[in-house]
Amino acid sequence: MLFKETWMEIRQLYQQGLSLSEIARQLKIDRKTVRKYAQHIIQPSYPKRPAIRSLLDPYKDYLENRLAQYDLSAHRLFQEIKQQGYSGCYSGLAASISQIKKDYRQQAVLRFETLPGEQAQVDWGYLGEIYDQDKRSFIKLYCFFMILGYSRMLYAEVFETMKFENFLKGHNDAFLYFGGYSREILYDNLKSVVIKRTLLAKDSDFNKKFMDFSGYYGFKPILCRPYKPNTKGKIEKSVDYVKQNFYLGRSFLSLHDINQQLKMWLEEANSRLHYTTHERPLDRLKRETLIRLAHKTLYDLTPFYWRKVSRDCFFSYGGNFYSVPHFYAGKEITLRFDGNEIEIFYRKNKIAQHALIKGKGQFIRNENHFEGLLEIRCRHRLKKPKKAKPSIPSIPIKPVSYSHTWVIQPDLSHYEEVI
């Protein structure tokens, strides 16, 4: 088959007056081919080869429909069409499935834009490992990300772990940085948000502590569709952006140092023109209709601990024993720490407070907690048992049995003396 470019070169050289042999020598093709196409004014065309029928042809529509709904394996689909009568081999099916999946991955996507104040996106990202000079040990770096969908305003903070307390702290700090929060926040299927993910988000088992957090602020958590990374493309791009433009090529002394440098970098990043909106995120932030924090305090992230008070009015913590008012003996209480102080609550009511004591085996006693306990114990003393009355001896009576019936028989010996 002669390509279009070769035919055009033959025509050009022939119009310049070169001989057929010279043209064949320059183009390195046969002279007969040059003679055949040198005077062709119209590009030569060739009849299409008849399509080769494949054993998969009757099942292609079925396979495409199944793959459009679910990301099934080639082995699973092979079993399904085999039951429908497919007699071909597995390798041919696997090659066809691979091409279909490749076409789906290359499909164009529609950019999703949100209204001002409507949505934010949240995710974690692993940065790497550094030597922390403050702790004198190597630590891993996990970065919390939040981006506002409309303005592209970005917040990031680095932690040592992705534990739940750090997840909530990242939210609080982001809300302070933005000056508010959106009505919806989009999440990947993180364990901090959802314990058990189902196909329908409303049927999923959410983390109860996180639901309390979202209910306190009043925003709605939204879950991404499984295996659909495009639904949170803004935060995915932000993770790569921070890794490439901030983390790589810099040196950090500690966790505190990296967060200080990150804070300064965020100020610069949010002041640049965004390549999508062609505006600065700081300028668009002014048009975000966020829910403001003016009349709401931040969610309390102080850790709580639960203890049960013993009968002697003490509870244990850290190897030491602390007293509470005697009214709460046997009750379950809540401990909260404020610096070096322990605050004790019963059903959200503060009932006592102690200074945190170091060491072990010590009893920290507040005498006011036992005031009135002795009078209560004396008032409820048990009464002494009464003495038993002396019993009067009775005259023994000899019973006589007649046909299983008991009859009393008196002593008749004194009657014989009278007779």
C-beta separation of 185 from 168 below 8 A: no
pLDDT for 25 equals 86
Q: Where are the beta strands (DSSP E) in 39-191?
A: 119-132, 137-148, 154-159, 180-181, 184-187
Residue type, 19: S
pLDDT for 196 equals 73
Delimit the domains of the chain by residue range: 4-37, 61-105, 119-292, 304-379
Rounded to an integer, the average pLDDT of 146-165 is 93
CATH of domain 119-292: 3.30.420.10
Mean pLDDT for the chain? 81
**pLDDT at 405 > cutoff 50:** no
**pLDDT at 261 > cutoff 90:** yes
Higher pLDDT, 167 or 224: 167
- Confidence bin at 110 (pLDDT 50/70/90): very low
Using one digit for the tens of pLDDT, what is the confidence trace for 291-305?
Answer: 898 777 888 887 778
Strands 332-338 and 304-308, by their bridges, are antiparallel
Q: What is the dihedral of CA 18, 20, 22, 28, to 10 degrees?
A: 130
State the residue for tokens 């042809």.
57
Rounded to an integer, the average pLDDT of 63-90 is 84
Using one digit for the tens of pLDDT, what is the confidence trace for 18-47?
Answer: 888 888 888 888 888 888 777 765 556 656
